């Protein structure tokens, strides 16, 4: 009997550029792919509803891909270490390979798994498949972690460039004996009440879809990305974030494909758009760098003076924000896009986040929790970075006194109101000059557009100018001597 190797899939649900899978193949033994639904690695951040939906369909596609290679996906549920040991006992496997995760609870769990397996004489190895650079590889001259993006990214770019992606295997040698497996439906990842029609119509999961999205973006948008990314009405972003989060595409695949295109077509062509896009990959790297070095920031501000900030718990305001009923069209459009599709345009994410923490003074943690549950690309590192950046309490954060004015932002980035009309059909007949602030429209204009403020669309739940003054007063309290 040839003793097999286990490949423990987590958030690396692909066969292309899969270093753990490549290591198992190079080990020269039959390969058993295994996925373990172990939410202990998420600690107090179990996957949200939208993420669970994506995970189900991604696992289904991975399972089909493995079947096409003469293999299969073994599905287990429970404590990862216990399930791995059980699979080892059933199959007499002598090696386990996996791709590293960087969330605090995952690091603790993986260390325990590696130590215990090695104590049992099992080869246990982990690999980098999520990032371009390991978080501990990039340091300041003093050997400390970076807290500002620009020098961090400059340091990354001065390192050796990412290697070429690994090829997809043509076949996987099956073991003499397969261990027991659950059916995918037994994990209970899909909603019991059908609320996911918008997700179904907006997304196709899996590696093929990831490759299609990358190709679309590179062919149509990347050279214009620096401008297109701020226009929510157009498909001006890559929309690769959920595929990256679930590992259906690797960052170095994106990196190398973008560089290859620039080399082939960029001669004499402005490459600012492509450079800006790659910098966004850098922001993702920075988010993981911060999460690794400052794990408490998922719940606590990096800038400790913000522990004294006088946030307000406002259940009604939070509910209005969540439902897209704030009375500010750009905020409401974004929140409705999120609820319907599991995704929100990045420019609008900043506007909606700023409204919550600055106009309403609601703690940024309430925002992270809502985004975590509703985003298909909910990523602990990026979610934490984004919210702390908006709140002014994190690394390289926007100053708290810098506000996103929801009216001027809407007028600037959606001047014709295409995005607003798409997600706020009750306002679609308003002229563009009043669409961004419906309460400023004359009564006859509102009547003609069939808009009844307070009935068909709410009045603003807060005056932005007054809210700005209130927020600055709150900020002054943490600047006072203790």
| Residue 57 phi, psi dihedral angles, 5° rounding | -70, -30
Q: Cβ contacts of residue 285 below 8 Å, gap of 6+?
A: 131, 132, 133, 152, 153, 156, 251
Q: Which residues on neighbouring strands pair with residue 33, listed in sequence order?
A: 7
Q: Sort residue 143 into left (φ over 0), alpha (ψ -120 to 50) or beta.
A: left
Q: Does the CA dihedral 264-239-34-86 come out positive or negative?
A: positive
Cα diameter, the chain: 83
Query: Active-site residue among 364, 370, 372, 423?
Result: 364
Those residues whose C-beta lies under 8 Å from the C-beta of residue 71, and which sit 6 or more positions away, are 31, 33, 172, 174
Instruction: Look up residue 169 and give its DSSP letter.
Output: P
Active-site residue identified among 125, 300, 311, 439: 311
Is 311 annotated as catalytic?
yes
Question: How far is residue 393's CA from residue 385's CA, in Å, rounded to a whole number?
Answer: 10
Active site residue 136: no
Tell me if 2 sits within 8 A of 29, measured CB to CB: yes
Q: Say which of 45, 153, 372, 387 is annotated catalytic.
A: 387
CA distance 35 to 269: 45
Q: How many CB atoms lie within 10 A of CB 235?
A: 14
Pick the catalytic residue: 90, 125, 300, 346? 346
Among candidate residues 280, 369, 411, 426, the one labeled active-site is 280
b (16+ CB within 10 A) / e for 74-111: bbbeeebbebbbebbeebebbbbbbbbbbbbbbbebbe
Strands of the 31-37 sheet, one edge to the other: 74-77, 31-37, 5-9, 95-99, 123-127
From 90, 116, 283, 426, active-site residue: 283
- Annotation says 178 is catalytic: no
103 is catalytic: no
DSSP H helical segments within 266-363, as ranges?
272-293, 315-323, 329-341, 346-354
- 95 sits in which H/E element: strand 95-99
Q: Which residues are catalytic, by number?
A: 280, 283, 311, 346, 364, 387
């Amino acid at each position: 009997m040839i003793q097999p190797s286990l490949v423990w899939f987590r958030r690396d649900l692909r066969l292309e550029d899969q270093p753990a899978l490549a290591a198992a193949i190079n080990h020269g033994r039959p390969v058993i792919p295994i996925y373990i639904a172990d939410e202990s690695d998420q600690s107090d951040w179990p996957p949200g509803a939208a993420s669970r939906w994506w995970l189900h369909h991604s696992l289904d596609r991975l399972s089909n891909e493995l079947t096409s290679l003469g293999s299969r996906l073994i599905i287990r549920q429970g404590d990862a270490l216990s399930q791995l040991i059980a699979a080892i006992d059933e199959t007499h496997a002598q090696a386990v390979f996996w791709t590293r995760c960087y969330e605090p609870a995952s690091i603790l769990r993986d260390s325990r798994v590696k130590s215990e397996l090695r104590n049992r004489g099992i080869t246990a190895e982990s690999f980098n498949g999520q990032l371009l650079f390991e978080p501990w590889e990039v340091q300041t001259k003093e050997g400390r972690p970076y807290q500002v993006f620009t020098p961090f990214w400059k340091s990354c770019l001065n390192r050796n460039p990412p290697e070429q992606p690994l090829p997809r295997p043509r076949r996987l040698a099956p073991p003499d004996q397969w261990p027991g497996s659950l059916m995918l439906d037994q994990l209970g990842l899909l909603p019991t009440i059908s609320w996911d029609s918008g997700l179904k119509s907006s997304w196709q999961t899996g590696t093929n879809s990831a490759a299609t999205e990358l190709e679309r973006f590179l062919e149509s948008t990347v050279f214009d990305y620096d401008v297109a990314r701020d226009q929510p009405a157009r498909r001006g972003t890559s929309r690769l974030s959920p595929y990256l989060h679930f590992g259906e595409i690797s960052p170095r695949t994106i990196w190398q494909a973008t560089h290859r295109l620039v080399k082939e077509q960029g001669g004499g062509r402005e490459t600012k758009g492509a450079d800006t896009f790659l910098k966004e990959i850098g922001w993702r790297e920075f988010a993981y760098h911060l999460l690794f070095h400052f794990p408490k920031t998922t719940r606590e501000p990096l800038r400790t003076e913000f522990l004294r900030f006088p946030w307000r718990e406002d259940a009604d305001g939070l509910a209005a924000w969540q439902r897209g009923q704030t009375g500010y069209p750009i905020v409401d459009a974004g929140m409705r896009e999120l609820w319907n599709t599991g995704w929100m345009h990045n420019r609008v994410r900043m506007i909606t986040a700023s409204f919550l923490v600055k106009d309403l003074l609601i703690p940024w943690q309430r925002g992270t929790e809502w985004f975590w549950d509703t985003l298909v690309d909910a990523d602990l590192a990026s979610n934490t970075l984004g919210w702390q950046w908006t709140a002014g309490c994190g690394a390289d954060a926007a100053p708290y006194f810098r506000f996103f004015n929801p009216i001027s932002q809407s007028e600037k980035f959606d001047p014709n109101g295409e995005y607003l009309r798409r997600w706020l059909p009750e306002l679609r007949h308003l002229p563009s000059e009043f669409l961004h602030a419906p309460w400023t429209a004359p009564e006859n204009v509102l009547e003609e557009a069939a808009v009844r403020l307070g009935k068909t669309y709410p009045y603003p739940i807060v005056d932005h100018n007054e809210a700005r003054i209130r927020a600055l007063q709150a900020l002054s309290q943490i600047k006072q001597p203790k």
